[in-house]
Amino acid sequence: MKTQRIERTRRRRGFVLVTMALTSVGIFGMIGLAVDFGRIFIVKNEMQVYCDSAAVAAALMLDGTNTGLARAGAAVAASTNKWDFGTTGVNGPSVAFAQAATGPWVANPIPATGYSYAQVTATAPVQLYFLPVVTGQSNLVVSSAAAAGQVPISSLGRGVAPYTAVSTNTTGPTFGLVAGNSYDIHWPTYNGNRAGCGPANPLKCFNSNPCPGDPNSSLIAVVSYWGSQYHGYWGSNSNSQIAAEVINAVQLAPVALGTNLDPLLTPGNKQSEANYLDQRASQDTDTSDNTPASYLASANHNGRRLLPVPIVDPVDPTHTNVIGYGQFLLLANGAQSNYYKKNANGNSPYCALYVGPYNIGSGGPGTGGTTGASAVKLVE
């Protein structure tokens, strides 16, 4: 009997050892699979972060030109995000562009007009340690993609300056304005008593000539509906408030497409406005280049001379409707612009150079969509 008990005990011990061995293999296998799956999950997230940031950077560069496409590709290549816990750069990401968030996506669109969305796709090879036992593959290619675009916006509650550009052309994104041309953001003094003044000869109605870029249709609208009452300024008459509105573009009233700006238009204070326009212009690190294209292409500027304003259409004596937005370059001459100097007699206009549609955060013109203003957002 004693011998039988000893034999049973030995068999039980052997069974326990076999069971423990098999269980250990299963446990270690599950741990190994968890390690591989966890690594795949982490790399997937890292690659998604890369694609998200690269797509946003690319979309910010788009301006409807081939140069903008090239800058978008360069922005993706310059992305500093890495994978494998920030130790490995992303190799060979692909970039494609589209005119809508849903595509189709084109690598090299010709012409570039209207392409305001960028898609970035990237892959990373993940080394596997335990899954090869199941799959037979020692590496798994993880891929991620993201798309971002300049999404048109119709309302700006902050960041727009208290001036206007006038256009009777209601078709966005440029509303008939030409990049590089000079437009009134504050019109010269109106004098209805001048001989010949009237809609048939609007130039006769100003003590000084308006800025050269404004077409005759804009002059007629201003003469017919603004007269001596308004000059295109819609900010405060308070000196301290003018400083905040002009220098920092802080507005208390939101502006949206279709807004009747007429109740907000005021005579303004040309002396204070000129002083603060000069201050803003002198804060730029480029205080000499008055050509928008070369100003934007240079690394010498910090963007302080760029001024986003509403584009308006005066349609009758009580309605000045916001039809879109645009970005303008304040004039500069050395460390000081011309605004203060021109204000010596109070008659001169304040001119600014049209840059293009306003793309928030890009520091340059965007594609604009239908509103002339856009913000870059992830769409995929």
- 145 and 160 in a single domain? The answer is no
Q: Please report the pLDDT score of residue 6 as a whole number.
A: 52
- 222 and 364 in a single domain? The answer is yes
Which of 107, 130, 149 terminates a domain? The answer is 149
Q: Please report the pLDDT score of residue 22 as a whole number.
A: 46
- 191 and 301 in a single domain? The answer is yes
Which of 82, 116, 149 terminates a domain? The answer is 149
- 323 and 223 in a single domain? The answer is yes
Which of 149, 173, 196 terminates a domain? The answer is 149
- 161 and 143 in a single domain? The answer is no
Q: Please report the pLDDT score of residue 4 as a whole number.
A: 53
In terms of residue numbers, what domain contains 212?
A: 155-378
pLDDT at 271 over 50: yes
Give 170-180 pLDDT, tens digit per residue: 999 999 999 99
> What's the chain's average pLDDT?
85
For the ranges 62-66, 166-170, 218-222, 246-250, the lowest mean pLDDT is seen at 246-250
**Paired strand residues for 139:** 127
For the ranges 91-105, 123-137, 329-343, the lowest mean pLDDT is seen at 123-137
For the ranges 75-84, 93-102, 125-134, 204-213, the lowest mean pLDDT is seen at 125-134
Q: Give the pLDDT band of residue 363 (cuts 50, 70, 90).
A: confident
The mean per-residue pLDDT over the stretch 61-65 comes to 90
- 140 and 161 in a single domain? The answer is no
- 160 and 144 in a single domain? The answer is no
pLDDT at 149 over 50: yes
Tokens at 34, concatenated: 């968890």
pLDDT at 346 over 80: no
- 233 and 283 in a single domain? The answer is yes
Q: What is d(CA 288, CA 282) in angstroms, rounded to the nearest whole number?
A: 10
Structure-token match 């269980």, residue found: 23
For the ranges 110-114, 344-348, 368-372, the lowest mean pLDDT is seen at 344-348
More confident residue, 130 or 275: 275
- 88 and 186 in a single domain? The answer is no
- 118 and 182 in a single domain? The answer is no
- 262 and 336 in a single domain? The answer is yes
The mean per-residue pLDDT over the stretch 139-152 comes to 90
Give 79-112 pLDDT, tens digit per residue: 888 877 778 888 889 999 999 999 999 999 999 9
- 145 and 195 in a single domain? The answer is no
Q: Please report the pLDDT score of residue 89 as a whole number.
A: 83
pLDDT at 148 over 70: yes
**Percentage of residues of the chain with pLDDT beyond 90:** 52
Domain count, the chain: 2
